[in-house]
Amino acid sequence: MLVIEAKLYGNQPQDQKLDEMIRTASFVRNSCIRYWMDHKGVGQYDLSRLCKELASEFEWAKKLNSMARQASAERAWASIKRFYDNCKNPSLKKKGYPKFKKGRSVEYKTTGWQLSKDGTAINFRDGFKAGWFKMRGGFDLNFYQLNQIKRVRVIRRADGYYCQFCIDQERQEDIKPSGNAIGLDVGLSSFYTDSNGVKVNNPRHLRKSEKQLKRLQRKVSKKKKGSNSRKKAIKKLGRKHLKVSRQRKDWLVKLARCVVSSNDVVAYEKLTVKNMVKNHCLAKSINDASWRTFFDWLEYYGKVMGKVVYGVNPQYTSQECPHCKAIVKKTLSQRTHVCECGCVMDRDEAGAINILAKALRELSRGGQSQTSSLELVNANGHINLCQLSENLIDKLGG
């Protein structure tokens, strides 16, 4: 499934109608959550039936396209089902009870919208009659058939309104095997250190923009509540936060693509970031690094390019000696690994080597749920994991 995003351009009355559409979709979702709270044994079909009842009871709710109302009910049921699944998992302390949300988007299915012939404009044809919007950005929609567009989502952000098209299309890229395997040890001083000793600097997007964000936040605090000047200051602050998040995402996506395209096997440590951010001294820096987003994009590009991206348990990867496998206890302030066997190297590099070795051992034994084969097979040939293990042993001097 591909997601193509474009920015919408319309006049002020049209933007107000988009706000009404988003509020109506949020009302339908929250009504479904409330109905589930008040009644026992509510299922997905009960929520779908509720959408029809809401349309007959509220005239303004009937303006929203019927499939858009059904999509809002599906969102509500997705949160309910996730709560049920979490209740079955005893390891999760917080089950994620469904909550009411303000909502910033409305989702259409196959009706209620119309594309122009050249694919540069869209018309929303439900009861709100928002009209035609020009679109800029993203890929040309003319490359895809109209029946491939399964969902159309309108999202409100700090700098305007955007339209996302969910297209039923598999993305695949044929990349020649490089014969390389790499292990990644993420950190805060350097974003990651690989098993070859290469370090990538941490950009710290939030830290660099922190002064500007504080200044904009002070301006918001000084404005009178409910005034137009306060609303303008809030928009400026929101646009700055949006810019920082976009900078972070752009950097992570490009870095993940570069790592996966240059290596046939990428091993990383499966960190529980939500537990790590409980340390208030490091929480801001960990969130700014956004390791979990980086790992998600590694896995995504691994599927697209037909590469092996494997996560291992991080236990003892930073304490174990890559040469003699002895456990050398170190504090967070000790950045050099020194072992009695004579091995002296950077702590993060030693951890990256251990991560790669651990991943290769697990893959050679059949792996876990993340992979189904011992070899990566694509149109260009095979990757021999045994040969990669031999190369790692040669590097360690064994």
46 catalytic per annotation: no
Do residues 44 and 77 make contact, with C-beta atoms less than 8 angstroms apart? yes
CB 223 within 8 A of CB 261: no
Would you state the pLDDT for residue 143? 84
Helix (H) or strand (E) holding 79: helix 66-87
302 near 260, Cβ under 8 Å? yes
Q: What is the pTM of this model?
A: 0.82
Q: Is residue 344 helix, strand or coil?
A: strand
Q: Looking at residue 372, what is its pLDDT?
A: 34
Q: Which of 264, 269, 320, 362 is catalytic?
A: 269
Tell me how many degrees the CA angle 109-115-117 measures, rounded to the nearest 5.
Answer: 150
Give the whole-angstrom CA distance, residue 167 versus residue 148.
5
The two structure tokens encoding residue 112: 């209620």
- What would you measure as the largest C-alpha separation in the chain, in angstroms? 78
What six digits make up the tokens of 351? 């951890």
**51 CB-contact burial (10 Å; exposed 0-12 / middle 13-18 / buried 19+):** buried
Q: What is the CB neighbour count within 10 angstroms for residue 368?
A: 12
**Residue 179: both structure tokens together:** 């014969």
Q: Write down the catalytic residue from 107, 126, 185, 288.
A: 185
Over the chain (398 residues), the average pLDDT of each successive run of 10 is 89 93 94 93 91 91 92 94 91 87 91 88 90 85 86 92 90 84 89 89 92 94 92 93 94 94 90 84 89 92 90 84 79 77 81 88 67 35 46 46
Active-site annotation holds for 168: no
Collapsed DSSP state (helix, strand, coil) of residue 308 = strand
> CA nearest 193: which of 356, 394, 392, 393?
356
Q: Is 348 a catalytic residue?
A: yes
Choose, from 107, 126, 348, 362, the residue flagged as catalytic.
348
Q: Is 151 helix (H, G, I), strand (E, B) or coil?
A: strand
Contact 274, 287 (CB under 8 A): no
